[in-house]
A and B are shown apart, each in its own frame.
Chain A
């Protein structure tokens, strides 16, 4: 078993990473770094609580460190863990900037350790379903990935306060950018409008981005003021279209305290709709049952990558590309121009 230290026990650490690490074959959650030991012990009685990362890293049995802190300290935590000779998983987004991400990757190379970024949404039901259906869609012309929520009141949490690494473009944009990059590769250009819409917004809570790939346009869209969410996924191709409403269910299952991998895990009750093109006209719609989401696959692949030399499930290089596009997106929005990538 790979002994794992989780750094940060806020929303992501507590709700997402801890249960996934505990359920993943090959990993053992032995330590949590948190300033709130009582919270951790209440949830995880057998797990050691360390007051700071240095203390956790002093344990030679720890092989993997999972960084689930606010974005602004991802890089410094990763450097410290690498220096101690540990492999590192970093919650998305990788870091605050491309430069920070590059320095983490250079460090990893120097010490010969692995860095992986938790871009879990490659294991969303929608994403997996689209991958399976893709051969039936033909050449693609437009793709719209949406992440809509109804959160009209600004919450007092670091993601919604002003400051480095906050805001929706970093938080949710990083998911959609990673999905776009892993589905379609590197775009020729990006054009983004990022703004704060809600009364009292201190950081951005809306974005609308277009990625250009020859004749294909990939639109990434997110708003916190969406009473009727649009489809999470809309893909229009020469041979057919695929439209899927509803988000992956795993985050809600985790919030409800379900154990990853239990019966029905990741099942998505919302069927997608496939519309073929027949003789230049839309053919009869076909319901497509969604492939269950499977975030555990990420951590189990991580265990195999550490132990069996299997490929890193999300490489640092991939995550660096996400950072590059996030940065280009901020430039595009601030300067009001299309940015060549």
Chain B
């Protein structure tokens, strides 16, 4: 079967360090075109790839079979509509768009056009999320009562990337919260309530750079938490249930590997050197903790799923309903934090 030719739109941090290498390492995909105003940068990295000055030029090529949008969040919607109008399936970097309404319009457009739109929620393929999902699917926790997903960093200085500016789609909640919200949906489904506290903690920060968000599911509580002033980061995941608990420190290694220019899929790819711990409980007694080697992380799993979806062999690797729900939760959390109220997740 011929490879699907891909146009990558945007060659900033996400385009250059995440999408381009993952697309190039995925069987069934060929990175044919990059849309960028910095042609020299692209050519230096990718000598065999065409550079288009704008999206329209890239879309006019009839052999492009997938458009990947890795531009700042505020441009996602307009570019996704243009790609759909041109009859191309679309991958959009997370978060989907800057508002729920924009996301719903894109979903409607995709349905009308009969094309796949999928949001790049790569962190479902984090080592610890793959392992947590497997443990949940194997019913190792019994009734889950508490889960905490954290994304702690030590970034005491505000670096001045667009995420840090006061523009739509900026801020830590949109940037990192979108990962954690999707992980919560992936692991636990749709919550009934949401309650959020945001803060702007760092001197010079203009956006939220801290969040603590509680998702309520009947008796279960899922806490999403991030702070940029964490010299000692907490666990990335903690799941407590009636039959056992799982705790894991240390972020997935793939982003660091990509920054170090390693090739996805090479020897040792996605290997996570920090083991998690699973401890089973019997009543009030805890059994001997077991070390669990997580993962390995596998971001290419997303693009492998896209190939299968475009070929009609499988549903999209991240269901559009999940991404619409994630957008709704991102919006509701911002509203909850602004108004200081717990909100019901309708529908």
Residues of A within 8 A of B (CB): 141-142, 144, 150-153, 189, 191, 193, 195-199, 206, 208, 210, 212, 215-217, 219, 223, 225-228, 230-231, 234, 236-238, 240-243, 273, 275-277, 280-283, 285, 336-338
Contact = CB atoms under 8 A, between A and B. Distances in A.
Given A212-B197, A215-B200, A227-B245, A141 B210 contact: yes
A236 B232 contact: yes
Q: What range describes how many residues of B lie at the interface?
A: 35 or more
Contact of A153 (B148, B200, B220, B284): B284
Interface in B207-258: 210, 212, 214, 216, 219-221, 223, 227, 229-232, 234-235, 238, 240-242, 244-247
Nearest to B193: A336
Contacts of B275: none
B341 interface: yes
A232 to B, nearest CB: 13
A197 B219 contact: yes
Contacts of B175: none
Contact of A227 (B195, B220, B240): B240
A197 B143 CA distance: 10
A141 B146 contact: no
Contacts of B281: 150, 152, 227
Given A152-B281, A227-B281, 5 more contacts: A197-B146, A208-B221, A216-B201, A225-B146, A226-B240
Contacts of A212: 197, 199
Contacts of A206: 145-146, 221
Contacts of B201: 141-142, 215-216
30 contacts: A150-B284, A152-B242, A152-B284, A153-B284, A195-B221, A196-B219, A197-B145, A199-B143, A206-B145, A208-B221, A212-B197, A215-B199, A216-B201, A217-B212, A225-B240, A228-B247, A230-B148, A230-B234, A234-B232, A236-B227, A236-B230, A236-B232, A237-B229, A237-B231, A240-B231, A241-B231, A275-B232, A282-B231, A336-B193, A336-B343
Contacts of B229: 141-142, 236-238
Interface of B: 143, 145-146, 148, 154, 156-157, 193, 195, 197, 199-201, 210, 212, 214, 216, 219-221, 223, 227, 229-232, 234-235, 238, 240-242, 244-247, 277, 279-281, 283-284, 286, 289, 340-343
B340 A338 contact: yes
Nearest to B201: A215
Contact of A242 (B199, B221, B232, B341): B232
Contacts of B247: 228
Contacts of A338: 197, 340-341
B319 to A, nearest CB: 28
A193 B238 CA distance: 19
B241 A225 contact: yes
B284 A208 contact: no
B335 to A, nearest CB: 13
Contacts of A281: 154
Nearest to B211: A217
B346 to A, nearest CB: 15
Contacts of B341: 336-338
A208 B245 contact: no
Contacts of B214: 193, 208
Contacts of B148: 230
A132 B146 CA distance: 32
B277 A228 contact: yes
A275 B249 CA distance: 15
A336 B231 contact: no
A142 B227 contact: yes
Contacts of A273: 232
B342 A225 contact: no
B145 A150 contact: no
Contacts of B246: 228
B195 A191 contact: yes
Contacts of A153: 283-284
Contacts of A240: 231
A241 B240 CA distance: 25
Contacts of A282: 154, 231-232
Contacts of A199: 143
Nearest to A140: B229
